[in-house]
């Protein structure tokens, strides 16, 4: 079995956007890949730790942080 994992980041206008807009974007992504022969499996949340940066002599230093990303999983049999 073959798998493909694709990042999913929804983008909406904060004044006019709704969860329906997010659903439409996800549906469009799924349709795009199913049209290419991939089968949708699930949406996964992946936590990632971004390491801190010390900067040059401490200037521009940034703390480390954790971020969450949504990944769409597809498969081909």
Give the pLDDT of residue 45. Answer: 95
User: What string of DSSP letters covers 5-74?
Assistant: EEEE-----TTT--HHHHHHHHHHHHHHHHTTT-EEEEEEEEEEEEPPB--BTTBT-B--EEEEEEEEEE
Give the pLDDT of residue 27. Answer: 97
Mean pLDDT by 10 residues, the chain (77 residues): 96 85 95 98 94 77 88 95
Q: How far apart are CA 59 and CA 39, in angstroms?
A: 48
Give the pLDDT of residue 59. Answer: 76
Give the pLDDT of residue 63. Answer: 86
Give the pLDDT of residue 50. Answer: 85
Q: Provide the residue ranges of all domains of the chain, joining segments of one domain with +.
A: 2-76
């Amino acid at each position: 079995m073959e798998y493909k994992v694709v990042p999913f980041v929804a983008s909406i206008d904060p004044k006019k956007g709704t969860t329906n807009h997010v659903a439409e974007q996800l549906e469009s992504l799924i349709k795009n890949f199913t049209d290419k022969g991939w089968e949708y499996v699930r949406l996964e949340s992946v936590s990632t730790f971004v390491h801190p940066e010390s900067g040059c002599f401490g200037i521009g230093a940034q703390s480390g942080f954790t971020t969450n990303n949504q990944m769409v999983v597809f498969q081909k049999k």
